[in-house]
Protein backbone atom coordinates (compact mmCIF):
# COMPACT_ATOMS: atom_id res chain seq x y z
CA UNK A 1 0.00 0.00 0.00
CA UNK A 2 1.30 3.36 -0.93
CA UNK A 3 0.88 6.27 1.50
CA UNK A 4 -0.68 9.46 0.24
CA UNK A 5 1.57 12.41 0.94
CA UNK A 6 0.51 15.49 2.92
CA UNK A 7 -3.04 16.52 3.62
CA UNK A 8 -4.58 13.60 1.74
CA UNK A 9 -3.30 11.20 4.42
CA UNK A 10 -5.01 13.33 7.08
CA UNK A 11 -8.22 13.24 5.04
CA UNK A 12 -8.12 9.42 4.79
CA UNK A 13 -7.78 9.07 8.58
CA UNK A 14 -10.07 11.93 9.63
CA UNK A 15 -13.05 11.20 7.34
CA UNK A 16 -14.02 7.82 8.92
CA UNK A 17 -13.55 9.21 12.45
CA UNK A 18 -15.76 12.20 11.64
CA UNK A 19 -18.39 9.92 10.12
CA UNK A 20 -18.49 7.72 13.27
CA UNK A 21 -18.79 10.78 15.54
CA UNK A 22 -21.66 12.14 13.43
CA UNK A 23 -23.50 8.80 13.63
CA UNK A 24 -23.09 8.65 17.42
CA UNK A 25 -24.33 12.24 17.81
CA UNK A 26 -27.34 11.50 15.60
CA UNK A 27 -28.19 8.40 17.61
CA UNK A 28 -28.04 10.37 20.87
CA UNK A 29 -30.32 13.09 19.50
CA UNK A 30 -32.79 10.47 18.22
CA UNK A 31 -32.80 8.58 21.55
CA UNK A 32 -33.41 11.73 23.60
CA UNK A 33 -36.26 12.85 21.31
CA UNK A 34 -37.84 9.37 21.44
CA UNK A 35 -37.72 9.27 25.26
CA UNK A 36 -39.23 12.74 25.57
CA UNK A 37 -42.07 11.84 23.18
CA UNK A 38 -42.79 8.61 25.08
CA UNK A 39 -42.87 10.45 28.40
CA UNK A 40 -45.31 13.02 26.97
CA UNK A 41 -47.49 10.24 25.53
CA UNK A 42 -47.45 8.39 28.87
CA UNK A 43 -48.59 11.55 30.64
CA UNK A 44 -51.48 11.76 28.17
CA UNK A 45 -52.32 8.08 28.81
CA UNK A 46 -52.38 8.61 32.59
CA UNK A 47 -56.18 8.60 33.06
CA UNK A 48 -56.54 5.55 30.80
CA UNK A 49 -53.93 3.68 32.81
CA UNK A 50 -55.73 4.60 36.04
CA UNK A 51 -59.02 3.40 34.58
CA UNK A 52 -57.41 0.10 33.59
CA UNK A 53 -56.06 -0.34 37.12
CA UNK A 54 -59.54 0.23 38.56
CA UNK A 55 -60.99 -2.46 36.28
CA UNK A 56 -58.17 -4.92 36.99
CA UNK A 57 -57.05 -4.91 33.35
CA UNK A 58 -53.31 -5.45 32.82
CA UNK A 59 -51.39 -2.56 31.25
CA UNK A 60 -50.56 -2.23 27.53
CA UNK A 61 -48.93 -3.56 25.15
CA UNK A 62 -49.67 -7.01 23.76
CA UNK A 63 -52.77 -9.14 23.43
CA UNK A 64 -55.45 -9.02 26.10
CA UNK A 65 -56.80 -12.54 26.57
CA UNK A 66 -59.52 -13.79 28.94
CA UNK A 67 -58.84 -17.30 30.26
CA UNK A 68 -61.82 -18.95 31.95
CA UNK A 69 -62.88 -22.39 33.10
CA UNK A 70 -60.79 -25.18 34.56
CA UNK A 71 -57.51 -23.30 35.12
CA UNK A 72 -55.83 -22.46 38.44
CA UNK A 73 -56.12 -18.65 38.08
CA UNK A 74 -58.81 -17.58 35.58
CA UNK A 75 -58.73 -13.93 34.53
CA UNK A 76 -57.39 -11.35 32.09
CA UNK A 77 -53.80 -11.69 30.88
CA UNK A 78 -51.51 -9.56 28.68
CA UNK A 79 -49.45 -11.74 26.38
CA UNK A 80 -46.98 -10.89 23.59
CA UNK A 81 -48.25 -10.97 20.03
CA UNK A 82 -47.70 -14.35 18.40
CA UNK A 83 -48.31 -16.36 21.58
CA UNK A 84 -50.34 -19.56 21.43
CA UNK A 85 -53.28 -20.88 23.44
CA UNK A 86 -50.94 -22.99 25.60
CA UNK A 87 -49.13 -19.76 26.62
CA UNK A 88 -52.43 -18.27 27.82
CA UNK A 89 -53.25 -21.39 29.83
CA UNK A 90 -49.75 -21.40 31.33
CA UNK A 91 -50.14 -17.72 32.30
CA UNK A 92 -53.38 -18.68 34.11
CA UNK A 93 -51.51 -21.24 36.22
CA UNK A 94 -52.09 -24.26 34.01
CA UNK A 95 -54.93 -26.75 33.97
CA UNK A 96 -56.76 -27.36 37.22
CA UNK A 97 -57.21 -30.97 38.32
CA UNK A 98 -60.84 -31.00 37.17
CA UNK A 99 -60.12 -29.94 33.56
CA UNK A 100 -61.58 -32.16 30.86
CA UNK A 101 -58.42 -32.93 28.90
CA UNK A 102 -60.40 -34.54 26.06
CA UNK A 103 -62.14 -31.24 25.26
CA UNK A 104 -59.39 -28.64 25.72
CA UNK A 105 -59.08 -25.94 23.04
CA UNK A 106 -56.45 -26.24 20.31
CA UNK A 107 -53.27 -25.60 22.30
CA UNK A 108 -51.29 -24.70 19.16
CA UNK A 109 -53.78 -22.05 18.01
CA UNK A 110 -52.55 -18.46 17.74
CA UNK A 111 -54.14 -15.96 20.10
CA UNK A 112 -56.01 -12.85 18.94
CA UNK A 113 -56.56 -9.66 20.90
CA UNK A 114 -59.78 -9.90 22.91
CA UNK A 115 -60.04 -13.67 22.62
CA UNK A 116 -61.59 -15.78 25.35
CA UNK A 117 -59.94 -19.15 26.01
CA UNK A 118 -62.40 -21.59 27.60
CA UNK A 119 -61.08 -24.70 29.34
CA UNK A 120 -63.99 -27.07 30.03
CA UNK A 121 -64.55 -28.78 33.36
CA UNK A 122 -64.74 -32.56 33.60
CA UNK A 123 -68.24 -33.87 34.12
CA UNK A 124 -69.36 -36.78 36.22
CA UNK A 125 -71.26 -39.73 34.78
CA UNK A 126 -74.51 -37.91 35.53
CA UNK A 127 -73.40 -34.94 33.42
CA UNK A 128 -72.95 -32.50 36.28
CA UNK A 129 -69.79 -30.55 37.01
CA UNK A 130 -67.66 -31.94 39.83
CA UNK A 131 -68.37 -29.87 42.96
CA UNK A 132 -65.30 -28.23 44.47
CA UNK A 133 -64.63 -27.50 48.13
CA UNK A 134 -62.48 -24.54 49.17
CA UNK A 135 -59.69 -25.94 51.33
CA UNK A 136 -59.22 -22.61 53.15
CA UNK A 137 -62.88 -21.94 54.04
CA UNK A 138 -64.57 -25.36 54.30
CA UNK A 139 -66.07 -26.53 57.57
CA UNK A 140 -65.07 -29.73 59.34
CA UNK A 141 -68.13 -31.54 57.96
CA UNK A 142 -67.44 -30.40 54.37
CA UNK A 143 -63.84 -31.57 54.56
CA UNK A 144 -64.73 -34.89 56.20
CA UNK A 145 -67.16 -35.61 53.33
CA UNK A 146 -64.34 -35.49 50.74
CA UNK A 147 -62.89 -38.80 49.47
CA UNK A 148 -59.68 -39.68 51.29
CA UNK A 149 -60.47 -37.40 54.28
CA UNK A 150 -61.26 -38.69 57.73
CA UNK A 151 -62.65 -36.52 60.49
CA UNK A 152 -59.21 -36.47 62.13
CA UNK A 153 -57.47 -35.44 58.88
CA UNK A 154 -60.13 -32.75 58.29
CA UNK A 155 -59.41 -31.38 61.78
CA UNK A 156 -55.66 -31.41 60.98
CA UNK A 157 -56.41 -29.29 57.88
CA UNK A 158 -58.42 -26.79 59.92
CA UNK A 159 -55.68 -26.61 62.56
CA UNK A 160 -53.04 -26.07 59.86
CA UNK A 161 -54.91 -23.22 58.17
CA UNK A 162 -55.65 -21.62 61.56
CA UNK A 163 -52.01 -21.75 62.67
CA UNK A 164 -50.32 -20.94 59.36
CA UNK A 165 -52.80 -18.65 57.59
CA UNK A 166 -54.24 -21.15 55.14
CA UNK A 167 -53.07 -23.33 52.32
CA UNK A 168 -51.07 -21.85 49.44
CA UNK A 169 -51.38 -24.99 47.31
CA UNK A 170 -53.43 -28.18 47.55
CA UNK A 171 -50.18 -30.14 47.26
CA UNK A 172 -49.46 -29.14 50.89
CA UNK A 173 -51.87 -31.93 51.90
CA UNK A 174 -49.19 -34.42 50.82
CA UNK A 175 -46.03 -32.42 51.53
CA UNK A 176 -46.96 -31.12 54.98
CA UNK A 177 -49.92 -33.06 56.35
CA UNK A 178 -48.83 -36.48 55.04
CA UNK A 179 -51.73 -37.49 52.79
CA UNK A 180 -50.84 -40.40 50.52
CA UNK A 181 -50.22 -39.78 46.82
CA UNK A 182 -53.04 -42.12 45.83
CA UNK A 183 -55.60 -40.31 48.00
CA UNK A 184 -54.34 -36.93 46.77
CA UNK A 185 -54.76 -37.91 43.11
CA UNK A 186 -58.42 -38.66 43.81
CA UNK A 187 -59.28 -35.74 46.10
CA UNK A 188 -57.49 -32.94 44.22
CA UNK A 189 -60.27 -32.70 41.64
CA UNK A 190 -62.71 -31.88 44.46
CA UNK A 191 -60.56 -29.08 45.97
CA UNK A 192 -59.93 -25.44 45.29
CA UNK A 193 -58.25 -22.60 47.21
Q: In sequence order, what are the beta bridge partners of 75?
A: 67
The domain locations on the chain are 63-119, 133-192
pTM: 0.39
Tell which CATH architecture fits domain 63-119: Roll (3.10)
Query: Is residue 91 a contact partner of residue 114, using CB atoms and an 8 Å limit?
Result: no
pLDDT digits (tens, 9 = 90+) for 85-139: 999 999 998 888 778 777 888 888 999 998 999 988 876 555 556 667 788 888 8
* Other beta carbons within 10 Å of 90: 17
Amino acid sequence: MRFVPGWKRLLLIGAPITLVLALVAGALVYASSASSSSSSSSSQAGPAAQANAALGVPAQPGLLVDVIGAVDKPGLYRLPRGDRVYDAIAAAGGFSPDADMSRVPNLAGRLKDGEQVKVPFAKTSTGTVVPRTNLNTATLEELAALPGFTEVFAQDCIDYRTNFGGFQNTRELVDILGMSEAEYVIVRRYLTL
